[in-house]
Amino acid sequence: MIRAIIVDDEEPARAKLHRWLGSEADVQIAGEYADGLSAAHSIIRDAPDVVFLDIQMPGLSGLQVAAQLELDVSPLIVFVTAYDAHALAAFDLGAVDYLLKPYDEERFRRALNRVRERLHAPEHRRSAVRVAREQTGASDRLLVPAGDGLQMIDSAGIHFLEADDNYVHVHTADQTYLLRRTLRDLLQQLGEQHFVRIHKSAAVNIAEIDSLAPLFKGDYELRLRSGRSLRLSRRFATELFNRTGR
């Protein structure tokens, strides 16, 4: 079965997709959402096979939702839009397909057939996320767990990131969030111009660095403006010095 999620802020548009997807024997509708934040939560939680994703939505746009997803576990994406320019951009993203409103049932079925053809091709899952990030640039906001849902936090408020296997601890001034992400993927999303690695399993917000003090064998004690002390490995010291001019 192909597990599909429908995301559109217009109820008639969701109803049409629900009707046509519901008539397919190999498709299971896993959810319908009217905003990007709810959709992102469902995608991360439920891991659907494909998302029919409206580009223009309140809060998070379809491109911003795609940019927040992890490359290696992202679903296939079919962008849905009423705007030609956005539709063409979505197609260039490497999305499975795009549906330009108003579209008919024949055009919908062509898109669904492409989903079936590409369902087991990882490169097609990654491409929409990768280029969505290129289109939207470094994420100035990050989706993090909040109770049973998600919330947006400002990336500038992140002090440092700490990897733990396939998870990352996101440390802010007053809270720590646990994301099922790799540090490498998260840094790519946030923009490595704002963060720098200090260890193979840690990175800091450059703006939060206060001072450095040498330790031994080329390592340093790195102190953040918050007063928190971290270790800067000599392996990453040169990059930090180059990035910060220290």
Average of pLDDT values for 157-182? 93
Q: What is the pLDDT of residue 122?
A: 67
- In one-letter notation, the amino acid at residue 4 is A
Mean pLDDT, the chain, rounded, equals 89
| pLDDT tens, residue by residue, 38-65 | 999 999 889 999 999 999 888 888 988 9
Question: How many Å apart are CA 62 and CA 77, to the nearest integer?
Answer: 10
pLDDT, residue 246, reads: 66
Full-model pTM: 0.81
Q: Is the pLDDT of residue 177 over 80?
A: yes
Q: Is the pLDDT of residue 82 over 80?
A: yes
> What integer is the mean pLDDT of 140-155?
88
Q: What CATH code is assigned to 2-136?
A: 3.40.50.2300
Phi and psi (nearest 5°) for 66? Answer: -60, -40
Q: Which tens digit of pLDDT belongs to each residue from 180-235?
A: 889 998 998 898 788 999 999 999 999 999 999 999 888 999 999 999 999 999 99
Band the pLDDT of 170: cuts 50, 70, 90: very high
Q: Does domain 150-244 have CATH number 2.40.50.1020?
A: yes
Q: What is the pLDDT of residue 161?
A: 97
At 82 the three-state DSSP class reads coil
Q: Say if CB 171 and CB 202 are below 8 A apart.
A: no
Domain ranges, ordered by start, for the chain: 2-136, 150-244
pLDDT of residue 120: 79
Give the separation between CA 61 and CA 77, rounded to whole angstroms: 14
Could you give the percent of the chain with pLDDT greater than 90? 57
Beta bridge partners of 169: 162, 178
Q: Which secondary structure element, helix H or strand E, spans residue 112, and what is its range?
A: helix 105-118
